[in-house]
Structure 1
Amino acid sequence: MPVANRPTSEETKESDGSRYTAPSGSVLVGRSHQGGESGYTTYHYATLVVVTSEGVHATTVGNRSWSDRIKESNSTYVASTDRVLTGRCHTGDENGYTEYQSAEVSVSIDGTTHRLSLTAGEWDSAVKETNHDNRAPKARYS
């Protein structure tokens, strides 16, 4: 699915429980972290579009909701196939808790709204939390 842009958030200190939500109409496509458990995190987000033979159509991101909190160490969170990640909140170190925000994506074409279903891609190999930059490659969403 093509994207219209790929902006980056301001740095935030995640360990203090900061709640990051992608701007309206955007979805998360990556996360970078510098330093140890008290370091700073930057989120990468994008605006999705649908390309058809009739043209390029903007998507709508809505019905956002937060997951239950899960212990960060040795955990994996996967949004259901009808949802995308739009936010994250983490408290503490690697043994702290994380919540994820997900949302539905839809597109309106010729007056008809279509809710998009997404296919899960391959997981990137595990990255070390300290000093990483993990983003979905453009080929995965463009």
Structure 2
Amino acid sequence: MRKKVLSAAAAATALTALTVTPPAPAAAAAAPFVQVLQGYTATVRESDSYFWCPEDEVMIGRAHSGDENGYTTYFCGQIYINSERVVVVNPPYKDDEWEDHTYFVTPDDYALVRRDHYGDEKGFTFYYCSRLSWQGRPVRLVDRHWTEYMKESKHASRAGTNEVMTGRSHSGDENGRTAYQYARVTVG
């Protein structure tokens, strides 16, 4: 039997050919692209009013001018993730507060969708909030923060980029102070 002797270079080449290289790591999935776009806007008389954002929209701002007989404007937003509309999950969660000393914050990952107010500045305010869903997955609301206080009788507040409304604080009458809580939309 004849032995074949390989040179060191040939052996190295043969060994390299036999070496299994692991596949390259998969590229990290791109972060979802979130957009909160202006949706429905409406102005109503504050006293004895109710306002509900249209289907699959959430509150992104509020403005008020005057006393309890003045006008309130609500701003709603449509949320898209990777160009696909986010769904507002119903039924909503509901809470009521005395308007002259209200402090309402939604549960984690809930956005405001409706506000009702009955009576004057000492009347009741009802808040409604819902969870959000995208492709059957829960949408997260993170980095909650409060605005500075503003005079209720003449103010306007809007969410920042890709944010929704998650709370409201108010004390006193139309000359009292109002602040809003907003949170950033994410999937995760």
Q: Distance in 2 between matches of 1:67 and 1:126?
A: 24
Q: Distance in 1 between matches of 2:93 and 2:85?
A: 24
- C-alpha deviation, 1:115, in angstroms: 1.3
- In structure 2, the residue matched to 1:6 is 38
Identity in percent: 30
2:153 corresponds, among 115, 118, 130, to 130
1:41 corresponds, among 37, 62, 72, to 72
Larger radius of gyration: 2
Unaligned runs of 5+ in 1: none
Unaligned runs of 5+ in 2: 1-33, 164-183
2:60 corresponds, among 29, 44, 49, to 29
Q: CA RMSD in A?
A: 1.8
The yes-or-no answer on 1:83 pairing with 2:83 is no
Q: Distance in 2 between matches of 1:129 and 1:137?
A: 20
Q: Count residues in correspondence.
A: 132
Write the deviation string for residues 72-116 of structure 1: whole angstroms up to 9, x where unpaired: 1222111111211000001122221110111110001xxxx1011
Greater relative contact order structure (CA < 8 Å, 6+ sep): 1
Q: Distance in 2 between matches of 1:45 and 1:61?
A: 12
The structure in which a higher percent of residues are strand is 2
Question: Normalised by the size of structure 2, how large is the TM-score?
Answer: 0.64
Which amino acid in 1 is paired with 2:95? D
- C-alpha deviation, 1:9, in angstroms: 2.4
- C-alpha deviation, 1:120, in angstroms: 4.6
Question: Normalised by the size of structure 1, how large is the TM-score?
Answer: 0.83
